[in-house]
Amino acid sequence: DAGVTQSPTHLIKTRGQQVTLRCSPKSGHDTVSWYQQALGQGPQFIFQYYEEEERQRGNFPDRFSGHQFPNYSSELNVNALLLGDSALYLCASSLMNEQFFGPGTRLTVL
């Protein structure tokens, strides 16, 4: 059983650009959450998708948006990138109250 997978592994963008990160959940998991982990910090909750709808959202601006597909995979989109968006972006899929995390995508904004 494959775990949570994320792509790409690393990404370099410039300020003002847009980026899309992808996540495939564990088999059987229907809920996907996204987290931002800045250097030296704990992960911060961005939002969560269930049944293709955004169910919860953390304190992130509208530049951060997402999507969940019928196969439960998910995308995180960030528009108008800022230097401060540089971080490790973690995806987690859920079964009951336990989340399983992917390896993350390291985004660098120059």
Partner 1 sequence: AQSVTQPDIHITVSEGASLELRCNYSYGATPYLFWYVQSPGQGLQLLLKYFSGDTLVQGIKGFEAEFKRSQSSFNLRKPSVHWSDAAEYFCAVVFSSGTYKYIFGTGTRLKVLA
Identified binder of partner 1 from the candidate list 7, 14, 41, 77, rule CB under 8 A = 41
Structure tokens belonging to residue 82: 């800022």
- List 42, 62, 71, 84, residue binding partner 1 (CB under 8 A): 42
Q: Which of 23, 90, 107, 109 binds partner 1 (CB under 8 A)?
A: 90
DSSP 8-state code for residue 84: G
The 52-71 contact track toward partner 1, x by CB under 8 A, reads ----x-x-------------
The smaller minimum CB distance to partner 1, of residues 9 and 71, is found at 9
2-7 long-range Cβ contacts below 8 angstroms, 24+ apart: 2/26, 2/27, 3/100, 3/102, 4/91, 4/92, 4/93, 4/100, 4/101, 4/102, 5/102, 5/103, 6/89, 6/90, 6/91, 6/102, 6/103, 6/104, 6/105, 7/105
Q: How far is the CB of 60 from partner 1 (least distance, A)?
A: 13
Choice from 11, 20, 44, 60 touching partner 1 (CB under 8 A) = 44
Residue 66 amino acid letter: G
Residues near partner 1, by CB under 8 A: 31, 33, 35, 40-45, 48, 56, 58, 90, 92, 94, 97-104, 106
